[in-house]
Amino acid sequence: MNTTSLHPQYIVDDANQRKSVILPLEEFETLMEDMADLAAVAERREEATLSHEELVAELKADGLL
């Protein structure tokens, strides 16, 4: 999702300064999912990686391929 696909409505104060945002529920839920995905990526950032060949070999060894 990018910011051009959002449809925010703003709540403003007496000086017309933006104080809060209202989003359609579907857009809010999508943003929350994206944030959860980014948090998971950040948590796993330091984990070791596998090459494609290593992954395929591991899956075959586990009987999943």
What is the predicted pLDDT for the residue at 52? 97
State the average pLDDT over residues 9-19. Answer: 98
For residue 26, is pLDDT > 80?
A: yes
For residue 61, the SS3 value is helix
Cα separations in angstroms, 12 against 2, 3, 27, 28:
23, 20, 21, 20
pTM, rounded to two decimals: 0.64
Run of H or E including 27: helix 25-43
pLDDT in tens, 27-65: 999 999 999 999 999 999 999 999 999 999 999 999 999
Beta strands 18-22; 9-12: pairing state:
antiparallel
What six digits make up the tokens of 7? 């449809």
Give the pLDDT band of residue 1 (cuts 50, 70, 90): confident
